[in-house]
Amino acid sequence: MAKKRRGHNQGSIFQRKDGRWCATVSAGYKDGKIQRKCYYGATQKEVSDMLDDARGKLKQGIVPVIGKKLTLGAYLETWLTDRVKPTRRPGTFKVYAQHVNHHISPALGHIELTKLTPEDIEGYMNRLDSKSLARYHRMILATVLRQAEKRGYVARNVAKLVDRPTVMQREPMILTSEQVELLLDALKGERFENLFRMSITLGLRKGECLGLRWQDIDFDAHTVTPRFQVTRQGDGVDFAELKTDKSRRVLPLPETVAAYLREWRRQQLAQRMACATWVDNGLVFTNERGGTIEPSILNRHLSRICIAAGLPDLHVHDLRHNCASFLHAQGVDIKTVSEILGHSNIQITADLYTHVFASVKQDAINALDRMFAAR
């Protein structure tokens, strides 16, 4: 196809033999030779928009970087500064920056962006100790290169050509009703008793429990509305709003839960009065001075309690899994379970709890079998 001609110094657009569209624009001269910047896209309009953007920058004196001289490290730095920092939470930006600056850039940053290959990425991922880390870094690279592809710096996203590492997920521990009774007895008097009870009763995530404020609990309306979460971000703790509307759900507050929360509020008030350095953040669950609890210590506390009681070694997230199991066993439909747990869609619930729901179905079939066998 013939090039689409434009006026002097306005660039040109043409379709390549592979079907992709290309736009070129003059980026000045070097050593007496004209420097041209190429932009690639799937449609003519896409590259036309890129070209218009480039021309606008040229009018402002901003000269585009020629792709062959742009390294992955330089583009990663630009991506962090211009894309991640203005649009993501500070904690998220910090984590991305740590992974980029401490791992990805030292290993791959020297490679020219247009010369980066799937083999480069695959070899780097194979050298990492953890499959989870390799999967995470592939995600970062795929995101970065998708942006580079949109901007015309590369012709294709080579990270997408690398298979995602398969990470074995830990199977959740599901307790029997007898084991739950043992757990509740073992929790009595423990430091995080009420937090663990909230998780297993209402299916709250660990971060949601830690970010819960007293103003999120309406004792008169008997509702709990989690709005914030506390998570570990690198070497710090991030306190932020929940990300999705599904997470910001209104949950019914059972009277038994309300009763022990009222008692916990009285105990917390006594702690506050006795502590001269108390910081009032309005949180339901705090450390000894009113601040946020370090998320990493909760699994250790729960594990110690379970082992001492002769129970399976639980993680805090297992309590949420057990809540889902109990709800379904009581005949609650999967859509309602999904809404209580705050999943963004019902398919996530179905995928996560397939084994749980399957066992409930098996129990139901066995009950029917016994009933028919008796007749």
Residue 92, helix vs strand vs coil: helix
Where on the phi/psi map is residue 164: left (φ > 0), alpha (ψ -120 to 50), or beta?
Answer: beta
pLDDT score of 32? 61
Domain boundaries, the chain: 12-64, 69-161, 177-368
For the entire predicted model, the pTM comes to 0.62
Judging by DSSP bridges, how do beta strands 236-241 and 228-233 pair with one another?
A: antiparallel
Residue type, 273: M
Tens digits of per-residue pLDDT, 39-75?
Answer: 888 888 988 888 888 787 777 665 555 544 689 999 9
The answer to which of 171-180, 192-201, 312-321 has the lowest mean pLDDT is 171-180
Q: Which of 18, 62, 63 is nearest to 41 (CA)?
A: 18
Give residue-wise pLDDT tens across range 172-197. Answer: 788 888 898 999 999 998 989 999 99
pLDDT 10s digits, 241-267: 887 888 889 999 989 889 989 999 999
69-161 fold = DNA polymerase; domain 1 (1.10.150)
Q: Within a 10 A sphere around the Cβ of 359, how many other Cβ atoms?
A: 15
- The helix (H) or strand (E) run that includes residue 311 is none
Q: Taking each helix axis from N to C terminus, what angle separates 131-150 and 90-99, rounded to the nearest 10 degrees?
A: 100
**Other Cβ atoms within 10 Å of 261 Cβ, number:** 20
- Distance (Å, rounded) from C-alpha 11 to C-alpha 20? 17
Closest CA to 37 of 17, 4, 62, 20: 62
d(Cα 338, Cα 335) in Å, to the nearest integer?
A: 5
Statement: residue 5 has pLDDT above 50: no
Token pair listed for 155: 């012709």
Query: How many of the other CB atoms lie within 10 Å of CB of 134?
Result: 21
Give the dihedral sign, CA 126/129/135/140: negative
Topology at the third CATH level for domain 177-368: hpI Integrase; Chain A (1.10.443)
- pLDDT over 70 at 22, yes or no: yes
Tell me the CA distances in angstroms from 34 to 31, 37, 66, one per residue in order.
8, 10, 11
pLDDT of residue 273: 92
pLDDT tier at 225, thresholds 50, 70, 90: very high
**CA dist., res. 54 & res. 62, Å (int):** 9
As a whole number of angstroms, the distance between CA 47 and CA 20 comes to 10
β-partners of residue 223 are: 218, 252
What's the whole-number mean pLDDT along residues 68-91?
Answer: 86
pLDDT at 354: 62
How far apart CA 223 and CA 264 sit, in angstroms, is: 17
Q: State the number of CA atoms in the 13 A half-sphere of 236 facing the CB.
A: 10
So what's the pLDDT on residue 9? 46
Residue type present at position 253: L
Closest CA to 144 of 104, 179, 204: 104
Biggest CA–CA distance in the chain, Å, is 97
Which residues, 6 or more positions from 50, have their beta carbon under 8 angstroms from its beta carbon?
Answer: 23, 39, 41, 150, 151, 152
Q: Are 63 and 27 in contact (CB under 8 A)?
A: yes
Cα–Cα distance between 338 and 331 in angstroms, integer?
14
Q: Convert the pLDDT of each residue in 119-143 to its tens digit.
A: 999 999 999 988 889 999 999 999 9
Tell me: pLDDT of 369 over 60. no
pLDDT for res 72: 94
- Of all helices (H) and strands (E), which one includes residue 300? helix 296-308
Cα(231)–Cα(247) distance, integer angstroms: 15
